[in-house]
Amino acid sequence: MEICDYEKVIGDNLHDIVKGALDGASVDYDSVVQMGVEDGKLYYCGLGSNESENPENKVVEVYRLTQSFDFEEACGCSMCDDCNDNGGACNEEQLYSCTEDCLIEEVHDIGYDDMIISVSSQIQEWGYDML
C-alpha cells in the first residue's frame, strides 16, 4: 500500500486544519481533523475524548481540539486590540478570528513537528511502508 505525502498535505493545509477544527469546536465532543492515509484528503468529525477512528477507515488523526477547548483562554483575548474599552472580551466574530490566528501561529511555530511525528507514528503502527 502506498501512502500520500502527508508532510506536504499537512504543510499546505495548516490553515484549513486549524479552521476546520475550530468550526467543529463543541462542548459535547472533541473536534478532530483526520487525513486519509492513501488519498491525503482531510476529514473533520466530532469524537469523544478517548475515542479514535476505526483503523479500517484508513485515516489518521492530524489535529484535535478537546471538548473543553476555551476560545478566550487559547488566545489570551482579554487584552488584545479588539477588546472593548472596559477590558471586556471581543465579540464572537473577533474572538473566533483571534483564536484562529493564535492557533495557526502556535501550530506553525511549535506544533508542526509534533503533528508530523504523530501522523508518522500512527501510519507506522498500522503497518504502512514509509516512503
Instruction: Give 91-109 pLDDT, tens digit per residue.
Output: 788 888 888 988 998 888 8
Q: How far apart are CA 78 and CA 102, in angstroms?
A: 13
Q: Which pLDDT value is given to residue 14?
A: 92
Residue 1, domain member (yes or no)? no
The residue ranking higher by pLDDT, 71 or 62, is 62
Residue 88, domain member (yes or no)? yes
Residue 47, domain member (yes or no)? yes
Residue 99, domain member (yes or no)? yes
Which has the closest alpha carbon to 106: 118, 114, 94? 114
Q: How far apart are CA 116 and CA 112, in angstroms?
A: 6
Q: How far apart are CA 58 and CA 64, in angstroms?
A: 17
- Single-letter amino acid code for the residue at 76: G
Residue 16, domain member (yes or no)? yes
Kindly calculate the radius of gyration of the chain based on its CA atoms and give it in whole angstroms.
Answer: 16
Q: Which residue has cell 509534533? A: 114
Sheet containing 59-65: give its strands across.
Answer: 42-47, 30-36, 59-65
Coil, helix or strand for 88? coil
Residue 130, domain member (yes or no)? no
Residue 103, domain member (yes or no)? yes
Q: Which residue has cell 500500500? A: 1
Residue 71, domain member (yes or no)? yes
Question: What's the total number of domains in the chain?
Answer: 1
Give the pLDDT band (50/70/90) at residue 17: very high
> What residues are paired with 107 via a beta bridge?
none
The whole-chain average pLDDT of the chain stands at 84
Q: Domain limits at 120? A: 6-125
Q: Which pLDDT value is given to residue 35?
A: 95
Q: Which pLDDT value is given to residue 74?
A: 81
Q: Which pLDDT value is given to residue 52?
A: 82
